[in-house]
Structure 1
Amino acid sequence: MAILEPIRGGYYLWKYIPSLAAAIIFILVFLVMTALISQRMFRTKTWFCVPFAIGGLFEFAGYCARVSAHSKTGKIIPYAVQNVFILLGPALFAVSIYMCLSRIIRGIRADHHSLIQPRKLTRTFVTGDVLSFVVQGGAAGLMVTGKNAKIGEGIVVAGLLVQTIMFGLFAVTAVVFNRRIRHSPTTESSSSSVPWQKSMRMLYIVSALIMARSLFRVVEYAMGNDGYPLMNEWTLYIFDSVPMFAVMVVYYLWYPFWIAPQKLEVAIPLV
């Protein structure tokens, strides 16, 4: 029978025994969604979706670690692995989302409607996301010891705030672009064979879900190790696991096939 155990020094990594059933359910759903998205990515050669697929693998690995932690609450490695991988998965989703907007803009020849040039748009937001990724990843390691837990929580909050701010700026860029292109459409945007509006709706939905999840994480870590969210496992599943599963489902259902390089047939490199 699983029991709550401390690590050396009497510090408890967990405030509860991780649910075995819940972790297994999300292992399965993230594995299935990652496989489905990867299959579409390879079939359509939409390689900008590679970070998204890796994000799905991060989620899968994180919940595998939670299964291991169920009977090893006094072990550092399962706790650290699940903490890092579940925390960082959405940052990888964001990379593909940023690149997706850039390709939509260039695919309908609407560069002049974007607040940031599409080439710079990808670099700007991906750079911010990588910064958030590095900060959160480094801080998550500090949280496995009682002495550094508070410092780690503070740094994680900083990384999540960077991610949230970048998503806010991304949302503004997407909304402004959408309004401009509707007011002054290009020839390509008027074509019925280019489903760019469906792709924009997909970006709005997944971005809102990731933004809400990031805000939850900010509150979670800001409240500290003794705060309600970190003391109660259900908050993780309702405000992180379920939204990230929904992100993968929406992305799969409205997968941006049409912005594969071979379909756009553009002369400029889509990077």
Structure 2
Amino acid sequence: MAELKPYRDSYYLWKYIPSTPAAALFVVLFSLGTCYIAWCIVKTRAFFCIVFTIGGLFEIVGYCARAVAKDRTEQLMPYVIQSLFILLAPALFAASVYMVLGRLIRCLRTESLSIVPARWLTTTFVCGDVISFVVQGTGGGVMVTANSMKTGESIILGGLFVQIIVFGLFVVTSAIFHARLNKRPTEPSLGKHSTWRSTMVMLYVASAFIMIRSIFRVVEYIMGNNGYPLSHEWTLYVFDAVLMLGVVSVFAWRFPGDIVPRKVQDFETVDGPMEMQGTGHDYSRTG
């Protein structure tokens, strides 16, 4: 029978014995979702979405570590691996969301409607996301190398605040772009097979899930190791695992494979298919 064991003296890494069946279930679900998105990437050549699959792999590794931690509650590495990989995966999902909006703006020829110049939109938000990723990763590294849980948690908290701020600005940028496009539609956006609205729905839903999860994580780290969220396993699954699985699901539902170079039939104009060539825009760039 599994027993909760201290890491050192009377200090416990876990406040409960992690559930192997729950972790295994999400390993399977994230694996299915990630494999499907990987297949979509290959099929549509939407290679800019590879970072999303890496996020899915992070989730899989994280929950695998939780699955084996049941009988290793006194060991540091399973705890840190599951904590760090599950923590960082949403930053990779967010990076993909940023790139989708940038490419969508270019495909619809709506650069003038974005409050952030289209050529800088993806770079700006992804850089903010990278900063958040690095800060959170550094916090996880401090937990292991410096053996300082409290310092590491404080650093991670800073990275989460950066993530929330950047994501908030992205949501505002998306909403303004959406409102302007509704008022001043372009030919590609009026096409009978145009899918930009469903793409925006996907971005909004994914953004909401990531934002709620990030706020939960901030509350979790503010309350500390003895707080309710870290003392009860269900909170992780409800406010992180389920929400991130929702992000994977909605991304799979409206996979942005039609906003890649040479594949724009879903953005037809009323006069016929939109031509990428000769528009004066370089669609080969990321974002």
Normalising by the residue count of structure 1, what TM-score does the alignment of the two structures yield? 0.97
Match of 1:72 in 2: 72
- In the TM superposition, what is the alpha-carbon distance from 1:261 to its structure 2 partner? 1.3
* C-alpha distance in structure 1 between counterparts of 2:133 and 2:257, whole Å: 27
* Corresponding residue SS for 2:216: helix
* C-alpha distance in structure 1 between counterparts of 2:123 and 2:238, whole Å: 32
Deviations 1:125-179 (A, max 9, x none): 0000000001111102333599622211111111011001111000000000001
* C-alpha distance in structure 2 between counterparts of 1:105 and 1:198, whole Å: 14
* C-alpha distance in structure 2 between counterparts of 1:11 and 1:3, whole Å: 15
Deviations 1:217-246 (A, max 9, x none): 000001000000000000000000000001
Match of 1:102 in 2: 102
* C-alpha distance in structure 2 between counterparts of 1:141 and 1:73, whole Å: 19
In structure 1, runs of 5+ residues without a counterpart are none
The letter of the residue matching 2:33 is M
The letter of the residue matching 1:270 is R
Match of 1:247 in 2: 247
* C-alpha distance in structure 2 between counterparts of 1:146 and 1:16, whole Å: 24
- The answer to whether 1:217 aligns with 2:217 is yes
Match of 2:267 in 1: none
Match of 1:44 in 2: 44
Deviations 1:45-85 (A, max 9, x none): 10111111100000000000001111100111111110110
* C-alpha distance in structure 1 between counterparts of 2:162 and 2:252, whole Å: 27
* C-alpha distance in structure 2 between counterparts of 1:27 and 1:56, whole Å: 10
Question: 1:116-195 counterparts in 2 under 5 A?
Answer: 116-143=116-143, 148-195=148-195
Deviations 1:170-206 (A, max 9, x none): 0000000001111111111111222111101100000
Match of 1:81 in 2: 81
Contact 1:261 / 1:270 at 8 angstroms: preserved in 2? no
- The answer to whether 1:20 aligns with 2:20 is yes
- In the TM superposition, what is the alpha-carbon distance from 1:263 to its structure 2 partner? 1.1
How much identity, in percent, do the aligned residues show?
50
The letter of the residue matching 2:163 is Q
Deviations 1:85-118 (A, max 9, x none): 0000000001110000001100000000000111
Contact 1:26 / 1:241 at 8 angstroms: preserved in 2? yes
Match of 1:270 in 2: 285
Q: For this pair of structures, how many residues does the alignment match?
A: 271
Contact 1:132 / 1:163 at 8 angstroms: preserved in 2? yes
Contact 1:110 / 1:186 at 8 angstroms: preserved in 2? yes
The letter of the residue matching 2:285 is L
* Corresponding residue SS for 1:54: helix
